[in-house]
Amino acid sequence: MSIRERKSKTGIISRLIWLINIIFAVLLLGSYLSAYVNPGIITVFAFLGLAYPALLLINLLFFLYWLIRGKRKLLLSLVVVLIGYQAFIRHVQILPGREAPETGVMKMLSYNVQNMVHSNIGIEHAEIRKGIFSFIGSQQADIACIQEFSAQGRDFEGVFEEMKDLTHYTYYYYENYNPKKTNRIDALVILSNYPAAATNTLSIPGAYHHFGIYADLINDEDTFRIYNLHLASIKLQHEDYQFVEDVSKGQTEKGAFREGSKSILRKLHSGFKNREKQTEVVVRSISECPYPIIVCGDFNDTPLSFAYHKISAGLEDSFVNAGYGMGNTFSGNLPPIRIDFILHSSVFQSYELRVPKITLSDHYPVTVFLGRE
**Over the stretch 172-187, which tens digit does the pLDDT of each residue have?**
999 999 887 777 778 9
Most confident of 4-8, 234-238, 278-282: 278-282
Query: Rounded to an integer, what distance in angstroms lies between the CA atom of residue 114 and that of residue 116?
Result: 5
Return the minimum-mean-pLDDT range out of 1-10, 24-33, 219-228, 294-303. Answer: 1-10
Residue 300's pLDDT band, with cuts at 50, 70 and 90, is very high
Q: What confidence tier does 161 reach under pLDDT thresholds 50, 70, 90?
A: confident
Does 248 have pLDDT greater than 80?
no
In angstroms, the CA 189 to CA 144 distance is 8
- Tell me the whole-structure pTM to 2 decimals: 0.89
Given phi > 0 = left and psi -120 to 50 = alpha, else beta, which region is 291? beta
256 falls in which pLDDT band (50, 70, 90)? low
| Ramachandran sector of residue 31 (left: φ over 0; alpha: ψ -120 to 50; beta: rest) | alpha
d(CA 111, CA 224) in angstroms, rounded, equals 20
CB-based contact 23:77 (threshold 8 Å): no
Q: Which residue has the higher pLDDT, 244 or 72?
A: 72
The pLDDT of residue 250: 59
Check whether 149 has a pLDDT greater than 70. yes
Residue 49 phi/psi, 5-degree rounding, is -60, -40
Across all residues in the chain, what is the average pLDDT?
A: 88
Cα distance between residue 57 and residue 144, in whole Å: 35
Query: Quick check: 262 pLDDT over 90?
Result: no
> How far is residue 278's CA from residue 115's CA, in Å, rounded to a whole number?
22
Selected residue with higher pLDDT from 169 and 153: 169
Assign 325 a pLDDT band (cuts: 50, 70, 90).
very high
| pLDDT of res. 235 | 65
- pLDDT of res. 125: 76
pLDDT tier, 251 (very low <50, low <70, confident <90, very high otherwise): low
Q: How confident is the model at residue 265 (pLDDT cuts 50, 70, 90)?
A: confident
Residue 143 contacts residue 189 (beta carbons within 8 Å): no
Neighbours of 266 (CB within 10 A): 11
**Structural contact between residues 166 and 126, judged by C-beta atoms closer than 8 angstroms:** no
Level-2 CATH architecture, domain 105-372: 4-Layer Sandwich (3.60)
Across 149-177, average pLDDT? 83
Cα distances (angstroms) measured from residue 220 to each of 193, 195, 199: 11, 10, 18
Q: Which residue has the higher pLDDT, 152 or 350?
A: 350
Span 59-79, average pLDDT: 96
| pLDDT tens digits for range 93-138 | 999 888 999 899 999 999 999 988 765 554 557 888 899 999 999 9
Closest CA to 323 of 371, 373, 372, 367: 367
Residue that wins the pLDDT comparison between 241 and 264: 264
**CA gyration radius for the chain?**
23
Proportion of the chain above pLDDT 90, given as a percent: 63
Whole-Å CA distances, 193 to 109, 309, 352: 13, 30, 20
